[in-house]
Amino acid sequence: MQIHKYDTVIVGAGGAGMRAAIESTQRSRTAVLTKLYPTRSHTGAAQGGMCAALANVEEDNWEWHTFDTVKGGDYLVDQDAAEIMCKEAIDAVLDLEKMGLPFSRTEQGRIDQRRFGGHSRNHGEAPVRRSCYAADRTGHMILQTLFQNCVKHGVEFFNEFYVLDLLINDGKTAGVVAYELATGEIHVFQAKSVVFASGGTGKFFKVTSNAHTLTGDGQALVYRRGLPLEDMEFFQFHPTGIWRMGILLTEGARGEGGILRNKDGERFMERYAPVMKDLASRDVCSRAIYTEIREGRGCGPDGDHVYLDLTHLPPEQLDAKLPDITEFARTYLGIEPYTDPIPIQPTAHYAMGGIPTNVEGEVLRNNTDVVPGLYAAGEVACVSVHGANRLGTNSLLDINVFGKRAGIAAANYAETVDYTELPENPAEKVQALVDGLRESTGTESVAQIRKELQESMDTNAMVYRTGDTLKAAVADIAALRERYKNVAIQDKGQRYNTDLLEAVELGNLLDLAEVLAVSALAREESRGGHYREDFPTRDDKKFMQHTMAYQEVAADGTTSIRLDYKPVVTTRYQPMERKY
Amino acid sequence: MSTPTVEKHSAALDAAELGGVKLITVTVRIRRFNPEEHPDPVWVDYQLEMDPKERVLDALNKIKWEQDGTLTYRRSCAHGICGSDAMRINGRNRLACKTLLKDVNPEKPITIEAIKGLTVLKDLIVDMDPFFQAYKDVMPFLITKGNEPTRERLQTAEDRERFDDTTKCILCAACTSSCPVFWNDGQYFGPAAIVNAHRFIFDSRDEGAEQRLEILNDREGVWRCRTTFNCSEACPRGIEVTKAIQEVKRALVTRRF
């Protein structure tokens, strides 16, 4: 075991982690621990853009953006946080441009902007051009630009270091414990401040746009240390994933004029969202697609998908604005988007919930108090700027605004305090976890349990939910968690043991899937991405509050989930009926 | 609005919608290497039932998940964006997640081995540090002088287009590890680093081109390139790598960029 000492440790090297690292490296001695090489993160898969009211192509202001964000989140958004995000969005985009990001440009040479789902002029009047973009590779460009600037600032990366535990002593952050993939060695990183920026948890669904690596590692280990997880029942299903594969096709495709059609060729979104049509918010579009499918208007021999139609757009426009997604259609489906519509279905995309933080990125240990020295930003966190449904492009905004804030706050905090003493045997828990898996003589397979988990989640906890399906999910997950205790791996070695890694990741997914299902079962209303057929309306009286889920450990070691609730911060917008 | 394409399907769309039922038996032949077990690499055959429209990465996953959990490779996004899974498939560098089985002649054994020129650490995993070091050495970030403007720097769409091709790089190393010069001389910067230098040299906002060109004028710089076009063929993003290298060479001679 090795022990390292840094002022600030950042866990994760995607957009949020690298944005934080650029700030904290200039202020404190910082280490970035990442289970992947930095540019492998899923920020790079984001396509359509990052919204900011630059007003480069038409009138816009940050207050309209805030309203859209609050409305998009079905009034579960903390409005003070949304105001900060939408105000700071403008500088966040300009910061990236100054760092070198190659945005697509207007004829005047300014950053170009395009329409995106749920983003409107003057509180819902009509779609507005707000999304700053670089073709359909905005996430790729952000990730590359941030990595380039990390190189410039000499950020110290520990690549393929998998963080498996958070060390808290006397209520204060003391560091993290990591497993080095190349060698199997365990490393303790003592730190004054720790920033979790480890991304989402979409891999508990089968049809998902998420990378194999998005397994909720940060959420799970914080949760196991007794800290709450907020609003985990709110998961976004992106309307346009490639049929059966789940690969994301950007909303920017509809921003450029793409149309959703059913088997009759009908532009069905006109019936569901008369004003915003195909650019209604994602939850609305995804439900509409499933309604079409359920009512027999789906496409294909099994009627299990609909079409994203780009065939009326000029090929030059597709080449210039949507080159990657048209290539995906060619590569993975063998079709030509110039002339054929693309078969799509909703795909599990984004966790609105996560580790609760305040607007400085400080992690909450209950409704009001923070854990000194602990921060989170990006998809792993819940500020909450996304509420019950995130607007398209606001995730790239979130990682830049709150990644920067968390990086600054963590570094400044580190300057003011001494190290918290490491607990006795700091690596004990991780050593036991790793040894337990390596030495297990069990009979259960990681892949089999994961497959059953994903199937149950897709069947029971996706776009449409009921009390019965969620109870089925809870029961399935409980059974799978039992079987997981008897899981075994084949690779017993030290070197690049990805077999072991996948087993640990599955443990995280199981814990978080349970939190999602239990939180969703308790929320007897429909709001944003959480739709209960047995409670189809929003219930502001009972449920306009955030879910806070805690793991309780009984004396005999058995765990259970305790749910609590936290009030929503409302500043200027009172809840209204949500229409697009 | 007329919707002829929805009513009248092309053969390709029909094929896409009907597929997924015809499984074939595929043999995947992988060059395994684990120095913890044995000092030498060994080729191992795996047989599996696959839909030919699945990805090579799906085949690797199926082997790992159902047959041999010790098989080791890097992967993340699984759709050609993150750059984790460059490998030699039937002797050619490709991304496993962007290569469909039907496109690599699944009637015959499909050979898979680690990319060349970088030290193999285990199975398909190579040491990426020298690759990223070369990248860092070309100063892959915007260099500007003077005060920053309040708003964005202006750039015409035409100037933006000038370096568009090289912004697509995902640092997968498929190009660098396909280069015969790099195989023989690990000190050579390699195509990927030059691509990333190109991305800034031809960016109208950048003022660091002279410095970068000096670095690339080095003995191990662009002049080692023998224009074999392996890199362009290997690039999973379709970047015209050789052309980019040529443009850097020309900029060195003319000092115009």
Instruction: Give the CATH number of the domain where residue B103 resides.
Output: 3.10.20.30
Separation between Cα atoms, residue A150 and residue A18, nearest integer Å: 7
Asked whether the beta carbons of residue A144 and residue B98 sit closer than 8 angstroms, the reply is: no
Q: B98 lies in a domain?
A: yes
User: Which residues of B fall within a CB distance of 8 Å from A134?
Assistant: 167
Encode pLDDT of A382-426 as tens digits: 999 999 999 999 999 999 999 999 999 999 999 999 999 999 999
Same domain, B182 and B104: no
A453 contacts chain B (CB < 8 A): no
Number of domains in chain B: 2
Same domain, B103 and B192: no
- Indicate left, alpha or beta for A257 from its phi (over 0: left) and psi (-120 to 50: alpha): left
- Which H, E and C letters describe A215-228, residue by residue? CCHHHHHHHHCCCC
A205, β-bridge pairs: none
Helices A79-99 & A394-416, crossing angle to 10 degrees?
90
Q: How many CB atoms lie within 10 A of CB B175?
A: 30
- Is A282 designated active site? yes
List, as ranges, residues 33-62 from A with C-beta within 8 Å of B.
Answer: 36-37, 39-42, 44-45
For the question of whether the overall pTM of this predicted structure is more than 0.95, the answer is: yes
Encode pLDDT of A118-173 as tens digits: 999 999 999 999 999 999 999 999 999 999 999 999 999 999 999 999 999 999 99
Q: What are phi and psi of A132, to 5 degrees?
A: -85, 135
CA closest to A148 among chain B residues:
B141
User: Which residues of B fall within a CB distance of 8 Å from A497?
Assistant: 72
Per-residue model confidence (pLDDT) at position B4: 44
User: Which residues of B fall within a CB distance of 8 Å from A263?
Assistant: 6
Same domain, B166 and B249: yes
Q: B49 lies in a domain?
A: yes
Per-residue model confidence (pLDDT) at position B20: 57
Same domain, B100 and B136: no
Q: B53 lies in a domain?
A: yes
pLDDT beyond 90 at B255: no
Residue B96: C-alpha distances to residues A4, A416, A442, B86, B120 (Å) = 36, 48, 31, 6, 17
Which of A282, A245, A244 lies closest to A260, judged by CA?
A: A282
Per-residue model confidence (pLDDT) at position B256: 75
Q: Which domain holds residue B185?
A: 129-145+156-254
Cis before A384? omega within 30: yes
User: Which residues of B fall within a CB distance of 8 Å from A299?
Assistant: 6, 17
A486 contacts chain B (CB < 8 A): no
Mean pLDDT of B239-248: 97
Q: B17 lies in a domain?
A: no
> Exposed/middle/buried for B54, CB within 10 Å: 0-12, 13-18, 19+?
buried
Inter-residue contact A467 to A521 (CB < 8 Å): yes
Same domain, B240 and B134: yes
Asked whether the beta carbons of residue A495 and residue B153 sit closer than 8 angstroms, the reply is: no
CA closest to A106 among chain B residues:
B157
Which of A146, A56, A136 lies closest to A101, judged by CA?
A: A146
Per-residue model confidence (pLDDT) at position A308: 97
Same domain, B110 and B214: no
A447 contacts chain B (CB < 8 A): yes
Same domain, B61 and B115: yes
CA closest to B134 among chain A residues:
A151
CA torsion, points B111, B116, B121, B123, in degrees to nearest 10? 0
Per-residue model confidence (pLDDT) at position B163: 98
Asked whether the beta carbons of residue B160 and residue A100 sit closer than 8 angstroms, the reply is: no
Per-residue model confidence (pLDDT) at position B220: 85
Same domain, B50 and B138: no
Q: CATH number, domain at B240?
A: 1.10.1060.10
> Exposed/middle/buried for B110, CB within 10 Å: 0-12, 13-18, 19+?
buried
Confidence class for position B257, pLDDT limits 50, 70, 90? confident
Q: B7 lies in a domain?
A: no
Same domain, B72 and B122: yes
Same domain, B93 and B136: no
Helices (H), A426-497: 428-439, 446-460, 467-484
Residue A441: C-alpha distances to residues A319, A433, A480, B64 (Å) = 54, 14, 18, 18
Encode pLDDT of B145-172 as tens digits: 988 899 999 999 999 999 999 999 999 9
User: Which residues of B fall within a CB distance of 8 Å from A506?
Assistant: none
Cα distance from A300 to chain B (closest Cα, Å)?
Answer: 6
Cα distance from A42 to chain B (closest Cα, Å)?
Answer: 7
Q: In which residue ranges of chain A is pLDDT below 50? A: none
CA closest to B77 among chain A residues:
A211
Cα distance from A50 to chain B (closest Cα, Å)?
Answer: 15
Per-residue model confidence (pLDDT) at position A537: 97
- Classify B229 as helix, strand or coil: coil
User: Which site among A18, A25, A37, A489 would you substitute to test the B interface, given the most B Cβ atoms closer than 10 Å to its Cβ?
Assistant: A37
Same domain, B214 and B166: yes
Q: B10 lies in a domain?
A: no
B49 contacts chain A (CB < 8 A): no
Confidence class for position B19, pLDDT limits 50, 70, 90? low
Same domain, B227 and B184: yes
Rg of chain A on CA atoms, in Å: 22
Separation between Cα atoms, residue B229 and residue A190, nearest integer Å: 48
Amino acid at position B73, single letter: Y
